[in-house]
Structure 1
Amino acid sequence: MYTDIVVTEPYFNFSSIQESMTEILFEEYQFQSALRINAGSLSAHHYFHANPSELCCLVVDSGFSFTHIAPYCRGKKLHEGIRRINVGGKLLTNHLKEIISYRQLHVMDETHVINQVKEDVCYVSQQFYKDMEIAQLKGEENTVMRDYVLPDFSSIKKGFCKPREEMLFSGKYKTGEQILRLANERFAVPEMLFHPSDIGIQEMGIHEAAVDAVQALPEDMQPHFYRNVVLTGGNALFPGFRERLEAELRALVPAHLPVSVLLPSNPVCYSWEGGKLLAHSPDYEEMVVTRDDYEENGHCICEDKFDI
């Protein structure tokens, strides 16, 4: 039984790691052929496959550990425009754990539960200061506040958000339910994607890094990238993320250039679907390194073939 593999790795991966990975794929696991590629390249392949008339796109991949911004032209990535921000879902979850532990309940050991809280209740604010004012109001006027029921893993297997009516008018909850009351945390945590300096991380926000990436490219190509910004990764699922990024870019990009940000229906699997398309494309055979190639030429064949 012969098996091929497509494996993703970060941009500018260390050559020692690349070498070890290739060795493991061919010598330990005996794959018949391998393709090492960036997740962003698979997303770009997916986008160009769906939009054959487009020449360029800017992939904004905001995942668990990092956020990468990478420009692609005719399927090739442009190295001079690749940017990385050290802000991802893990940092947001950890920050939410710290806030809740400081204000309400010690949850520093409950990463999985708080990650679920973040996914269920957090959103990206369109008007941060206005939302901050609403979050300080009392009673019904505070439209931001939510009560979240934590799981006890016996009767409540998974946490959930209380309906607003129940929260406002019941006055009393079932005994035994452990409640987190969340207000400005809901939008202050995802805000770090746009303003990492809020918590002392001296880096650009996603919108600034995207503009910085495009400005590093030839001027005549720049309009094409602003028009084709593709969001991938789990953080793209925050409600309001696409609209906020588009508004922030619109404020920074020259007025005569159109700005458009695309959110795929499933941003988490977008690059995986791109990999599936690539594996069935006629170019695939040309891109891979076979085990025979590897045994004959060693790791240097991979350096020549894989544009990492």
Structure 2
Amino acid sequence: MYIYNVDFVDTSVIITEPYFNFSSIQESMNEILFEEYQFQSALRINAGSLAAHHFFHSHPSALCCLLVDSGFSFTHVAPYCRSKKMKDGIRRVNVGGKLLTNHLKEIISYRQLHVMDETHVINQVKEDVCYVSQQFFKDMEVSQMKGEENTVVRDYVLPDFSSIKKGFCKPPDEMVFSGKYKTGEQILRLANERFAVPEMLFHPSDIGLQDMGVPEAIVDSIQSLPEEMHAHFYQNVVLIGGNSLFVGFRERLEAELRSLAPAHLPVAVLQPANPICYSWEGGQLLAHSPDYDEVLVTRDDYEENGHFICEEKFDI
């Protein structure tokens, strides 16, 4: 991170951290912000809380929302009522983008080409080619067919960082099913990997993780909360984080939630236009709101009260 022409002494900072972060890490962060960089004021907050602030700002009539934040390291399910975090309902699924990319690397290395050292390239492959299946077993059958009957298979051209700076997926009508390409391009042929990798978000047990899938985690979270609030959460499930950009993720999650939720409750899964920056945009809104000064800690407060004032104000 590079910051130019910023005087920290006159600057306020918002910094995000995971739910239930270790107190030792929180105290170290306080020291870095106030003692090393000497920010004028600071706010430590969960990314989900910023996203909830954005949601309630955009939907002023909503009472509750359930944030599903599926990012790099893990997926969090966090319920909010009027921007207030309900800690008893927070659930974590230990599946994130890093695990999906690593799993795809292992599959490709076993089946085709050693790519264990090519994390950046395979992460791009994952983002370009993978999708969430709506009918897993039907797609699995199609992926085993031969020739043009196989509508799942795709050929991905790997970058050589000379003439091809970034990899890309060949259009289906340009794919060669018999023989080899004459262009000399290095090709990855992907079939069931395209949907089997994102499937781990729904069935972590596929790779031996003793964890709930995202739909079960959502239901478990809502069931732990007062019954009169359930309807409000089911109709305001909000997706943020990079994994929510998989094609078909929102539709599959909504379908599975519909099958798990009580029949009389409406279910709606909402996806913002930019789920990756949704929390950042929430922080921007918060920083310009009249309530901002009430939630932050100033350097003077910290110097007078130490870590105690941060623990009191930052509801992490």
| Secondary structure, aligned partner of 1:45 | helix
2:43 is aligned to 35
**Contact 1:35–1:289 (CA under 8 A) maintained in structure 2:** yes
2:80 is aligned to 72
Distance 2:313 2:101 in 1: 38
**Contact 2:43–2:296 (CA under 8 A) maintained in structure 1:** yes
After TM superposition, what 4+ stretches of structure 1 lie above 6 angstroms from structure 2? none
1:141 is aligned to 149
| Secondary structure, aligned partner of 2:315 | coil
Q: CA deviation at 1:139?
A: 1.1
2:168 is aligned to 160
**Contact 2:200–2:206 (CA under 8 A) maintained in structure 1:** yes
1:211 and 2:208 matched: no
**Contact 2:66–2:237 (CA under 8 A) maintained in structure 1:** yes
Q: Deviations for 1:58-104, whole angstroms, at most 9, x for unmatched residues?
A: 00000000100000001100000000011000000000000000000
1:106 and 2:114 matched: yes
1:4 and 2:7 matched: no
1:222-233 counterparts in 2 under 5 A? Answer: 222-233=230-241
**Contact 1:140–1:168 (CA under 8 A) maintained in structure 2:** no
Q: CA deviation at 1:258?
A: 0.1
| Secondary structure, aligned partner of 2:211 | coil
Q: Which runs of 5 or more residues in structure 1 are unaligned? A: none
1:294 and 2:302 matched: yes
Q: CA deviation at 1:176?
A: 2.6
1:235 is aligned to 243
| Secondary structure, aligned partner of 2:110 | helix
Q: CA deviation at 1:182?
A: 0.2
Distance 2:19 2:132 in 1: 27
Distance 2:168 2:222 in 1: 41
**Contact 2:240–2:272 (CA under 8 A) maintained in structure 1:** yes
Q: Identity of aligned pairs, percent?
A: 82
Amino acid at match of 2:133: S
**Contact 2:143–2:192 (CA under 8 A) maintained in structure 1:** yes
Q: CA deviation at 1:168?
A: 4.2
Q: CA deviation at 1:171?
A: 5.3
**Contact 2:41–2:297 (CA under 8 A) maintained in structure 1:** yes
Q: CA deviation at 1:191?
A: 0.1
1:297-308 counterparts in 2 under 5 A? Answer: 297-308=305-316
**Contact 2:147–2:177 (CA under 8 A) maintained in structure 1:** no
Distance 1:11 1:235 in 2: 19
**Contact 1:98–1:108 (CA under 8 A) maintained in structure 2:** yes
| Secondary structure, aligned partner of 2:134 | coil
Q: Deviations for 1:120-140, whole angstroms, at most 9, x for unmatched residues?
A: 000000000000000001111
1:82 and 2:90 matched: yes
Counterpart of 1:275 (choices 283, 293, 296) is: 283
Q: Deviations for 1:134-177, whole angstroms, at most 9, x for unmatched residues?
A: 00011111000000000011111100001111104795424431
Distance 1:55 1:138 in 2: 52
1:176 and 2:193 matched: no
Cα RMSD (Å): 1.0
Distance 1:242 1:134 in 2: 22
Q: CA deviation at 1:181?
A: 0.2
| Secondary structure, aligned partner of 1:112 | helix
**Contact 2:148–2:177 (CA under 8 A) maintained in structure 1:** no
**Paired residues, what number?**
308
Q: CA deviation at 1:222?
A: 0.8
Distance 2:86 2:308 in 1: 22
Counterpart of 2:201 (choices 190, 193, 204) is: 193
1:63 and 2:78 matched: no
1:259 and 2:267 matched: yes
- TM-score where L is the length of structure 2: 0.96
Distance 1:169 1:243 in 2: 31
